[in-house]
Structure 1
Amino acid sequence: MPDGGGTADEAEVALRRRLAAALDPKGPGRPVLLLIEGAAGTGKSRLVARLTAAPTGSARRTVPGDPPAAAGPELLVAEDVHRAPADDLARLRALLAAPPARLACVLSYRPEELAVPGLVLGPDTDLPAALTVVRHVVGPLDVAEVHRMAVAALGADRCPPGLAAVLHRVSGGVAQTVADLLDRPDLPDLLPPGPAAAGQPLAAALDRIGPPPRLEMLLRRRTAAVPEEHRPIVFAAAVLDEPATSRDLAAVAGLSGPRSTDALSAALRAAALEERGDGRYGFGSPLAAAAGRRTATGPDREVLHRRAARLLVRRQPVPWERVAGHRRACGDERGWLHAVERAARQFEDSGEQQRAVGLLESALATGPVPEQARSRLARLLARSAVMGLRSDETLKVLRHIVADPGLPPAVHGEIRLDLGLLLCNQMGDVMEGRDELARAVDELAGRPVPLARAMSALAMPYGPDASFAENVAWIERAVTVAEESGDPVVQAAVAANRVSVLLNGGDPAAWPLIERLPRDSDLIGCRQQTSRGLCNAADAAVWLGHYDSSRALLAEGVELAARSGAAYAEQTGRGCALVVDWATGRWSGLAERCRAFVDESGDMPYLASDARMVLGLLALARGEWADTLDHLTGPDAAGLDTGPVPISATASGALVRLALAHDDVAGAATEAAAAWQRLRAKGIWAWAAELAPWAVEATLRAGNSSTAGAMTEEFAVGLDGRDAPSADAALEWTRAVLAEHTGETARAAAHYERSAAAYRGLPRPYHAALTSAGAARCTLAADADSGPALAALADCATAFDTLGATWDAARTRADLRHHRPSTERRPPGRPRYGDVLSPREEEVAELAAAGMSNREIAATLHLSPRTVEQHVARALQKTGVHSRQQLGRVLGTATQ
C-alpha cells in the first residue's frame, strides 16, 4: 500500500515510524517491506541513507546475501534493485516469502528500468499477508526545495529572483540534475545581474550551459538501448520538446503504421521516453530533451526540425515562436523571419511585449536580414519596447537601424519616434530622447498616426527642456492630428497624455477626461494606453495632493497594465505608490520597499527616481545626512538639471534644508536659486510644494528679503486658479516663514496654523507636524499663552517619533526643553541613572547612530559640542559597544 498525503518531511517521519515499529524488540513483531521508488536522480539514495542512519534498538543491518539473524531485529537494505542479478532477486524473494518477525527490508529502484514493469522482484514474487508492504514514490522537487538547494550551494546573495523557478523548469525538479547545475563553477558568471524579467534571461543562460554530463550520459545510454530503426521516435520527441501524442511523434519521426507503434514501445521500454499523461509522451525536463537532441546527428536534426515546423503550422492558433525556432534550426532563413514576424505580432496582440522584444532582438542581431524584413521587424521591436522594460540590446539595434540612410524617411521617423520614447522612459536620457522625438515630427509629416504619437510624447510635461506652455501647445496639436487619423489606439494615447498635461498643471478640467479613457476597449493597444494614462494621472495627483484619488487611480491603472502587458506603465504605478506612502505617512517598511524597487528597476533611472527620492527624504528626517546626499545626488540619482522636474524640485528642497541644518547658508541659497529658476522655466508651480518653504527660508537667511518676498508672490500667482491642495498648504507655510523672519510672529503663527490644518486634511502627517511645530515656536516667541504651545510641541515630537523621524523628534524635544517654564523643569542636581541611558544620552545616541557629527548634534539640541562628546562617550560605555554604528543596532535605530 502506498503512503500518501502530507508534505515530504511528514512522509519521511511516517516512514521512520514504520521502520522503528518493525524493529522494536518489544513490539508485536510485524515485518515491513519499504519500497522506495523514483526515477533516476530523484534522490532515492539520500532518502534511504536518512531513513536507515540510526535504526531503532539493536537492529542488525544486512545486505542481500547475508544470512538472516537467528533472532532479534534485522534491517536489510538493497539499493538499485532494478540492476540486481537474478540470484540476489531469488534470495530476496525467498526471504520475503517467510520473513522473520522483526524484519525491516528497504528496497530502492527505478521503476522505468525494471525488467518487468511494476514487479520489483520479478514475475515470481508472492508476498505473504503477514508482511506489511509500503511503497513510497520519490517525486520531483518543488520550487521551494530547489530554492533551498540553490541557497545552500551558492549563498542567498548569489541567487537572483527567479533562479529557483528556472532551475525547476529546466530540470523538471530532478534533484540530481539541479545539484549538477549548481555544481557548475561558472553558473554564477552565466547568470544575468539583478532581477530577471519573467525568467527569460536566466532561461537563456541555462540554455547556454547545456545538459549536465551525468544527464547526457544517462540519455545516451538509454537511447542506445533502443534499436536503431526505432530511435527516430526518441529524436522526434527531443526536437518537439513537449509532451506529444503518438501521432505527432510519428509524423516528426517519419514513421507510419506499426513501425511508429513499435518504435514508441521500444523507447518506453528502454526508458528513453516516458509517459507524460493524457496519451502523451516525452522527456521529464527541457534539459533531458536537450540531451536527446544532442544524440542525433546534424542532418537528422535538420529533417526533424523541418517536419516539426510543418506539424506546428497546422495547429490553431499557430505557435509561431516555436515554428520560428524549428525553421531556424533547419536553415530555412526566409521561413524563420516570416515566423518571427508572425510570432511578434501574436505577442503584441496578446499584450506580451517583453516576449516580442526578446524574439525580435535575437532576429535583428543575428546576421544580415533583408532590408524589407529588417524595417518591418525593427518597427515591431520599437513598438513593443516602449511598452516593456529596459533593454540595452533593443536600444543598440534601433540606433543602428535608424542610422541607415537607405531606409525611407517615413520608416526612419516611425523608428525614431519609439527610439525617442525608449530613451526618455526606460533609459532616462530625456534630453537625447526629446531631440529624437522632435526629429521624428519632421520625418513623419503626412502620417497622422505616428505623427500624433510624436507630438503627444513631446507634450509630456515632466522634462526640463520645454516650458509648460510648449507642452500645452504640443498636446493641442496632437489632439487635432489624432482626430484626423481616425485611429482609436493613437487617439487613446493622445487622450492619456492630455490628461497628464492638464492634471499636472492643476487644471480641474482633467478629471472628467480620466473617466473617458477607453478602459473596456476591445483593442489591447487602447487598454495599454489607458493603463498608462491612469498611472500617469495617479502620479500627477500625488504632486497635487489628491492622495485618495491617486490610490484609486493606481489600483485601477496597475491592474489594467498587468492584464494588458504594459510592463513599463505597471512599474511607474508601483513607483508612484511609494511616493503616496511617503506623503501620507505610511513609513513603516517604506525604506525596504524603496530599496527593493531600486534593485528591481535601478537600470531605468526614470523609474527608480521615485524610490531614490523617497529614500533621501526618509534619511533626512532621520538625520542620516550622508545617505540623504547619496540618494538625492549620488551617481545613480536623477540629475537635478535633467531629471523629472517635480522630483528635482523636491530633491532640491531637501538639499536646501540639509544645507541649512549644516549652517551652510550660502550653499542653501545657491541651491534654492537654481531650483527656483528651473521651476520658473517650467511654469508648473504646483511642483514647488516641497521646495518653496525651504527656498524662501534660505533666501531670507542669506539676507535677500526682497527676493524672498518676490518668490512668495510668484508662487502665489502661479497657483491662482489651480487645483493643487498640497501647494496651497505649502504657500501658507511659505508666508509663515516670511512673516517669522520679519518679526511678525503672531501673523506667522496664524499662517503656520492654517498650513498645518490643510496638511492634516490631506492628510500629510509629517508636514502637519513640521508646521504645527512652527506655529508653536512662533506662539512662544510672541510671549503668548505657553501652555497650549508646549502641548503642541510635545504632540509634534510624538508624531515624529511615530513616523521614525529621529532628527525632527530630537529637534522638537530640544525646543520643548528650551521653552519649558522653570516651574516644570527638574529639581537641581543630577539624577542618577546608573548603567541605564538618561533621556538626554539616549537622544544624543540616536542622532550619533544616525551618522550626525557632534557639532551637528550640538546645533540640533542646543548643546555645546563638548557636552555632546561626553554624552556619546557615556552612551558607548553604558551600552558596551565601540562605535556609533553599533549604537544604532543596540538602540534599534539603525537604518530601517
Structure 2
Amino acid sequence: MPDGAGTGDEAETALRGRLASALDPRGAGRPVLLLVEGAAGTGKSRLVDRLSAAVAGSARRTAPGEPPAGAGPELLVVEDVHRAPADDTARLRALLADPPAHFACVLSYRPEELPAPGLVLGPDTDFPAALTVVRHVLGPLDLTEVQRAAVSVLGADRCTPGLAAALHRASGGVAQTVADLLDLLAALPAAGRPLAPELGRLDVPPRLDALVLRRTAAVPEEHRPIVFAAAVLDEPATSRDLAVVAGLPGWAGDDALSAALRAAVLEDRGDGRYGFGSPLAAAAARRAAGGPAREALHRRAAALLARRQPVPWERVAGHRRACGDARGWLHAVERAALQLEDAGEQQRAASLLESALATGPVPEQARSRLARLLARCAVVGLRSDETLAVLRHIVADPGLAPAVRGEIRLDLGLLLCNQMGEVMEGRDELARAVDDLSGEPVPLARAMSALAMPYGPDASFAENVAWIERAVTVAEESGDPVVQAAVAANRVSVLLNGGDPAAWPLIERLPRDSDLVGCRQQTSRGLCNAADAVVWLGHYDTSRALLAEGVALAARSGAAYAEQTGRGCALVVDWATGRWPGLTERCRAFVEESGDMPYLASDARMVLGLLALARGEWADTLDHLTGPEAADLDTGPVPISATASGALIRLALAHDDVPEAADAAAAAWRRLRAKGIWAWGAELAPWAVEATLRSGDTSTAAAMTEEFAAGLEGRDAPSADAALAWTRAVLAEHTGRTAEAAACYEESAAAYRKLPRPYHAALTSAGAARCALSIGGNGGRAVAALADCASTFDALGATWDAARTRAELRLHQPAAERRPPGRPRYGDVLSPREQEVAQLAAAGMSNREIAATLHLSPRTVEQHVARALQKTGVHSRQQLARALGSPAD
C-alpha cells in the first residue's frame, strides 16, 4: 500500500493525477482506492471536495450505498468511514474486492475513531492485488501554512510573524481550529490593535470545545481524572506523572490512560508522553473539571513539579495560585523571577512579577522584594504600562524604607526615560533616587550613571560629565562587577557623544565574556549606545561593527530593550550611508513593532521624515517629524531634535517661509548651545545658518558659524567637520564670496564622499557647481557635476532633489544639448517633463511648489499634471502614486 508522497500543493497534484489516470476511459489505469486519513479538523472534507471537483468532468460521481453502473468512469466518495454502519462497510469491501474498470474510490476517516485501530473497513479489511491503494495522511499545519491562512483572512498588514506563531502554538496547527480562531480575530476592530495579545484573550472555539467535551464524556467517569490531570499539566507528560496528578494509584492510572487514548481525548505525543493536541483543547478540558477537584489537581501538580531539578518555578507558581496557596504562590513567583533573570529572560520575569503585585494585597516584606526585582527586570525589557503603574503605586507608599524607595525609584526613572519616552519626568525620578540612596553605593552609582547620559535637554554636557565622574568613583567603591559594567558602558557613551578620542580604548574593556549575565547585558547596552554615538560622529563602518556585536550579545543575554535600540540605530546608519532601497518599509515596520514606545521609535520616525523630505512628500515630512507620535523638539533626544529641526528649517525655506525658518533656526540653535555637544549640529548648522542669512541677519549667521567651529575643536566628529565646511560655504555664498563658497562646497563634498554620505555629497557638490556656474568658471565641468548629482538623487529615490537639480541643469545646459524647437511626440507615454511633474504631484506637492522647484509657471505645471492624469488613466494625484509605481524607498 504505497503512501502519498510530497506535501501541500505538490502532494495534492499527485493525488489528482492518480484519480484522473484511473478514470481515463482511453487508458488502462488500474482502479484506485484513495484513503484520506486525518484527525478531527485537519481538513479532510476540503481536500476531498477539491479532488472531486478536479475530476468531476471525467467521471460519474456515485453516492455512498449506490451500486456502480458498471459502464463508464465512476468516482465513489465516502466521507467519515469511521462512522459507517457495519452493513455499509460490508458493501464497500465487496465492491473493492472486485472493482469495475475505470473506477476510483475516495474514503476519508479519522484514525483515532476507527472501531478497530488501523482497519478502515472493520476487522475484515482487505485490499485485492488488482486495486491500487494510496493513503494520504493529513497532519497539523506548519507555521508557514498557518501564516498563509492568516494573511488570506486578516490581510498581510494585520498578520505579523508573532501572530502566526501564536496561532500555530494555540491551535496545535489543526486546520479547523486555525480557521475558527481567524474568524474570531477578523471580527475584532482593526484600528491600532495588535492581534497577538487579543488571541490570548479569545475563548476556546465552540467547535473544538464540543469535540473535547464529547470525547471526555466518552471516558468512563472513574477514568476521567487522567484527562483532567493532562489538562492541568498542559504539556506532554509521562503516564506516571499523569497518574500522580490524577490521584490514581497503580494500575488504575494505566487503565485510565488507555481509556482516554481510546476515546481520542488524549494523544500519544511520542517518547512515552501523552497529552492534548493543543493548548486550547487542554483549556476546554480544564474548564470541565469541577472546582474542588481542579484545585486538588493543581495542588498535586505543584508538588510534583517542585520535586524536579531544576524546579520549573514559573509553572509551580501557576499551579499554586490556581489551588489558592497564596503564600506558596508568592514564594514561587519570586523564585521564578530570579530564575528567569539569571537566564536573561527579564521580560518574562517582569510580566510574572507585575501580575503578582497587581493582584490583591501582598505582605509588605514580600512586596518590597518583588517590587525591587520587578524594577530591575523592567529596565532591560520592553514597555509595560502595567509595570509602570505598579511601580508608581509602590513608590508612593510613605511606609517604604528610603533605600528601598530609592532603588525602585531608580528603575522607575530609567523606565520612564527609555521605554516610556517621558524623559524629563524620568530624570526627575533619578535625581530623587540619588537623595534616597545615600550610603547605598551600588544603586547610587547606577542612578548617577543614568543622570550622566547626555541625550536629554535638561542638563548641559558639562553636567553629564560631572555625573559620570562621580558614578565611576562610587562604582569602584562598591566592588560590584555589574554596576561597574553599567557605569563603564555609560562612560563610553558620554565620552563618545562628546567626540572624545579617549572613549575608543574603553570600548574594548567592556566585559563581553563575563560569567555574569548582568555584565553581559550592560555590555550589550554599552555597545549599542556606542554604535549610536558614532553614527552622529560619522564613523559608519565602526557603528555597524558595534551594532553587530551589541545586538547579538543583547539577544543572547536577554537585553530586549538594548537589542531594539540597536536595530533602531541601524536604520540611521542606512539613511546616512545611502542604503535607501527598502528603508521606508523597514522604518515603518520598526515603528509598528515598537508600538507605544516613542523613545524607541524616534530614530525610525526621524528617518521616515528625512526620506519624505527628499521625495517632496512634505505633508508626510511634517507628520513624521512633528506629529503626535514624534519626539518633542524641546524635550526629546537632542541629536534627533537637532536633525529634525534642520529638516523642518529646510522645508520652511522650500516653502519660501523665511520668518518661520529663521525662528525655527534660532530655537534649535538655543537648544544645541544649551546642551553643548556641537557634533550633534551636523544636520542643523547649514540650514540654520542659511535661514538666518536669508532673514537678513548676517552677523548672527557669522557668529553661529564661528560658534559651531569652536565647539568642534579637538573633537573626533568627521560628519560635523564636513557640515562645518558646508556651513562656511553657505555663509560665503550669501555674502558675495562665491569663489570661496565653491571651494568650501567642494571641501564638504569630498569629506562626505569619504565618510561615505552620498546624499549629502550630492547636495554639496550641487552647491559647488551652482557657485562655479554663477562666476563663469569651467561651465562644462560644473554642468557634468550637476548631471552626476541628479543621477545620484534618482538612484536614491530623492525625487524632489533630483527634480530641483535637473531644473538647475536645464538653465545651464549647452545649447547644442538642448531639445530642438517643436514639441516631440510621446503619444500616450509620459514625456520626461510630465514624468517629473507627475512624481512631484504624486508626492503631494502643490502646483505652485512644483513650479518653484522646476522653474516653471504654475499654468505649465497644471497642464503637465492634467496630461499625466489623462495618460495614466487615473483621476487624482493620490492615484498617480500607484500608477507611477513606488519610489525607491
Q: TM-score, normalised by structure 1?
A: 0.96
Call closer, same or farther: CA 1:120–1:670 in 2, change over 3 Å: same
Call closer, same or farther: CA 1:276–1:746 in 2, change over 3 Å: same
Q: Which among 599, 617, 630 is matched to residue 606 of structure 1? A: 599
Q: Displacement, 1:149?
A: 2.9
Call closer, same or farther: CA 1:690–1:168 in 2, change over 3 Å: same
Contact 1:850/1:894 (<8 A) preserved: no
Q: Displacement, 1:835?
A: 4.6
Q: Which among 548, 564, 567 is matched to residue 571 of structure 1? A: 564
Report the equivalent of 1:225. Answer: 218
Between the aligned partners of 1:185 and 1:746, the Cα distance in structure 2 is 66
Q: Determine helix, strand or coil for the equivalent of 1:561.
A: helix
The gaps in structure 2 that reach 5 residues or longer are none
Contact 1:428/1:604 (<8 A) preserved: yes
Report the equivalent of 1:123. Answer: 123
Q: Is 1:176 matched up with 2:189?
A: no
Q: Is 1:587 matched up with 2:585?
A: no
Q: Determine helix, strand or coil for the equivalent of 1:106.
A: strand
Report the equivalent of 1:55. Answer: 55
Between the aligned partners of 1:57 and 1:591, the Cα distance in structure 2 is 50
Report the equivalent of 2:132. Answer: 132
Structure 2 residue identity aligned to 1:66: E
Q: Displacement, 1:157?
A: 4.2
Q: Displacement, 1:24?
A: 2.4
Contact 1:849/1:893 (<8 A) preserved: no
Between the aligned partners of 1:68 and 1:821, the Cα distance in structure 2 is 87
Q: Is 1:76 matched up with 2:69?
A: no
Contact 1:749/1:775 (<8 A) preserved: yes
Call closer, same or farther: CA 1:887–1:237 in 2, change over 3 Å: closer
Q: Determine helix, strand or coil for the equivalent of 1:35.
A: strand
Report the equivalent of 1:770. Answer: 763
Call closer, same or farther: CA 1:532–1:31 in 2, change over 3 Å: same
Between the aligned partners of 1:831 and 1:120, the Cα distance in structure 2 is 77
Between the aligned partners of 1:161 and 1:251, the Cα distance in structure 2 is 38
Contact 1:75/1:103 (<8 A) preserved: yes
Q: Is 1:96 matched up with 2:96?
A: yes
Between the aligned partners of 1:56 and 1:821, the Cα distance in structure 2 is 72
Q: Deviations over 1:842-879 (max 9, x none)?
A: 33333222222222222222333333333333433444
Q: Deviations over 1:283-305 (max 9, x none)?
A: 11111111111221111111111
Q: Which moved more, 1:609-618 or 1:44-53?
A: 44-53
Structure 2 residue identity aligned to 1:15: L
Between the aligned partners of 1:86 and 1:878, the Cα distance in structure 2 is 71
Between the aligned partners of 2:216 and 2:837, the Cα distance in structure 1 is 74
Q: Displacement, 1:322?
A: 0.8
Call closer, same or farther: CA 1:66–1:861 in 2, change over 3 Å: closer
Report the equivalent of 1:806. Answer: 799
Call closer, same or farther: CA 1:745–1:422 in 2, change over 3 Å: same
Q: Which among 244, 248, 254 is matched to residue 241 of structure 2? A: 248
Report the equivalent of 2:549. Answer: 556
Contact 1:211/1:287 (<8 A) preserved: yes
Q: Deviations over 1:492-547 (max 9, x none)?
A: 10000000000000000001100111111111111111111001000000000001
Q: Which moved more, 1:513-522 or 1:15-24?
A: 15-24
Contact 1:649/1:679 (<8 A) preserved: yes
Q: Is 1:292 matched up with 2:292?
A: no
Between the aligned partners of 1:137 and 1:830, the Cα distance in structure 2 is 68
Report the equivalent of 1:795. Answer: 788
Q: Which among 536, 539, 554 is matched to residue 543 of structure 1? A: 536
Q: Displacement, 1:619?
A: 1.2
Report the equivalent of 1:30. Answer: 30
Call closer, same or farther: CA 1:181–1:809 in 2, change over 3 Å: closer
Contact 2:375/2:408 (<8 A) preserved: yes
Q: Which among 385, 390, 393 is matched to residue 383 of structure 2? A: 390
Between the aligned partners of 2:57 and 2:20, the Cα distance in structure 1 is 8
Kindly report which structure 2 residues correspond to 1:190-339, keeping only aligned pairs within 5 A, or say none: 193=192, 195=194, 201-202=197-198, 205-206=199-200, 208-339=201-332
Kindly report which structure 2 residues correspond to 1:610-625, keeping only aligned pairs within 5 A, or say none: 610-625=603-618
Q: Determine helix, strand or coil for the equivalent of 2:591.
A: helix
Structure 2 residue identity aligned to 1:293: R
Contact 1:141/1:173 (<8 A) preserved: yes
Q: Displacement, 1:192?
A: 10
Contact 1:24/1:57 (<8 A) preserved: no
Between the aligned partners of 2:564 and 2:789, the Cα distance in structure 1 is 35
Contact 2:147/2:161 (<8 A) preserved: no
Structure 1 residue identity aligned to 2:738: T
Structure 2 residue identity aligned to 1:132: T
Contact 1:194/1:599 (<8 A) preserved: no
Q: Determine helix, strand or coil for the equivalent of 1:244.
A: coil
Provide the aligned length of Structure 1 versus Structure 2.
889
Report the equivalent of 2:6. Answer: 6
Q: Deviations over 1:417-454 (max 9, x none)?
A: 01100100011000000000000000011111111100
Call closer, same or farther: CA 1:836–1:156 in 2, change over 3 Å: closer
Structure 2 residue identity aligned to 1:567: A
Call closer, same or farther: CA 1:665–1:58 in 2, change over 3 Å: closer
Question: How much identity, in percent, do the aligned residues show?
Answer: 84
Report the equivalent of 1:353. Answer: 346
Contact 1:313/1:319 (<8 A) preserved: yes
Contact 2:725/2:747 (<8 A) preserved: yes
Call closer, same or farther: CA 1:305–1:805 in 2, change over 3 Å: same
Call closer, same or farther: CA 1:68–1:888 in 2, change over 3 Å: closer
Between the aligned partners of 1:418 and 1:723, the Cα distance in structure 2 is 33
Q: Determine helix, strand or coil for the equivalent of 2:184.
A: coil
Between the aligned partners of 1:805 and 1:54, the Cα distance in structure 2 is 51
Call closer, same or farther: CA 1:729–1:109 in 2, change over 3 Å: same
Q: Displacement, 1:361?
A: 1.7
Contact 2:33/2:104 (<8 A) preserved: yes
Between the aligned partners of 1:268 and 1:547, the Cα distance in structure 2 is 61
Q: Displacement, 1:156?
A: 3.9
Call closer, same or farther: CA 1:360–1:2 in 2, change over 3 Å: farther
Q: Which among 694, 703, 714 is matched to residue 701 of structure 1? A: 694
Contact 1:5/1:11 (<8 A) preserved: yes
Q: Is 1:458 matched up with 2:443?
A: no
Call closer, same or farther: CA 1:419–1:224 in 2, change over 3 Å: same
Q: Determine helix, strand or coil for the equivalent of 2:126.
A: coil
Q: Determine helix, strand or coil for the equivalent of 2:33.
A: strand
Contact 2:314/2:332 (<8 A) preserved: yes
Contact 1:575/1:610 (<8 A) preserved: yes
Q: Which among 671, 674, 678 is matched to residue 678 of structure 1? A: 671
Kindly report which structure 2 residues correspond to 1:812-851, keeping only aligned pairs within 5 A, or say none: 812-822=805-815, 824-851=817-844
Call closer, same or farther: CA 1:347–1:773 in 2, change over 3 Å: same
Q: Displacement, 1:368?
A: 1.2
Between the aligned partners of 1:195 and 1:316, the Cα distance in structure 2 is 37
Report the equivalent of 2:507. Answer: 514
Call closer, same or farther: CA 1:820–1:274 in 2, change over 3 Å: closer
Report the equivalent of 1:42. Answer: 42
Q: TM-score, normalised by structure 2?
A: 0.97
Between the aligned partners of 1:630 and 1:94, the Cα distance in structure 2 is 75
Contact 1:467/1:681 (<8 A) preserved: yes
Between the aligned partners of 2:565 and 2:626, the Cα distance in structure 1 is 21
Q: Deviations over 1:345-404 (max 9, x none)?
A: 111111111111211121111111111111111111111111011111111111111111
Report the equivalent of 1:374. Answer: 367
Q: Displacement, 1:478?
A: 0.4
Contact 2:709/2:724 (<8 A) preserved: yes
Call closer, same or farther: CA 1:849–1:61 in 2, change over 3 Å: closer
Between the aligned partners of 1:131 and 1:827, the Cα distance in structure 2 is 80
Structure 1 residue identity aligned to 2:176: Q
Q: Deviations over 1:5-27 (max 9, x none)?
A: 42222222222222222222233
Between the aligned partners of 1:854 and 1:125, the Cα distance in structure 2 is 80
Contact 2:333/2:352 (<8 A) preserved: yes
Report the equivalent of 2:461. Answer: 468
